[in-house]
Every structure is written in C-alpha cells, then in structure tokens.
Structure 1
Amino acid sequence: MTLLLDRRGADVQITQDVVVAATGNWDNGKDIIMFLLDRCGADVQITQDVVVAAAENGGNGMEIMTLILNRRGADV
C-alpha cells in the first residue's frame, strides 16, 4: 500500500470499504489504520461501520478504537 500511495497517491481513493476492512483486520488492523490516518488524514472517513468493525475486532479492536479516538475523536 505504501508503494501504491507513493506512486499514485493523488489517483488512489481510500473507500469506506477499505477502511472497514482494515479496521476489521485482526492481525494488522492497527498498523493499517495508523498508516491510512498518517498518509490520508481527513480523507479517511470514520463512520459507524468503522466503529462497529473496531468493536467486533477481537484481535486489536480496542487499540484501533483508541487510535481512532485519539486521532479523530471529534469526527466519531
């Protein structure tokens, strides 16, 4: 994903489905969400589906939720 955004960043749209899938990833979700928030900032939309995916993530969902709230709490 880093390579893709480095080379084609302006052409790549991070969809809601991508954010939900990343949030639901039990193994690397926190790292993916951190990367997306670092690289794409406000373009990463935090919706109810994202919050639900974090809540249902038994692997690292609490860490993802904490990250989202710390970074984008006003948007949740």
Structure 2
Amino acid sequence: MNVFPDFGSLAGIDSLKTAIGALLAFGLIVAVLMMIPSAIIRAIASSHDNSANVSKARIGLLVGLSPAALAGGGAA
C-alpha cells in the first residue's frame, strides 16, 4: 500500500516552492559572504600570531558554515 501526500492538489504550491528556493539561495549567499571576511581575518591574525582574533574568526567561519550546510542539505 503506497500512502504519500498529493502536493499537486494544493493551490499555489508552485509559488511556495519558488519562494522557499529563493530564501534558501539568499541564505547561502549571506552565509558565504559571512565566511569570506572571517577567513581573511583568520589568515591575517594567524600570520601575526594573534590567537584571540584567530579563535574569533574560527567561530565566525563555523557560524557561517553551519547555515550553509543546513541550507544546502535542505535543498537536496
């Protein structure tokens, strides 16, 4: 017995899928734009042996990577 939802019977489901796809794309763009300065700051702070800024930049990279992974996984 195959039981599954019939998404074709809902009105406006195509526009909802388009809106969700646009929000996922926007989230990925923001996450990548957040990771770029964090990576630059980490590289500069690492070359100047500034461990406090390296750890803050690492946190910024992880905070940017987490939503990117979730949005990318959600799209799949």
> What's the TM-score, normalizing by structure 1?
0.28
Q: Hey, which of these two has a bigger chunk of helix by percent?
A: 2
Bigger relative contact order, structure 1 or 2 (CA pairs below 8 A, ≥6 apart):
2
> What's the TM-score, normalizing by structure 2?
0.28
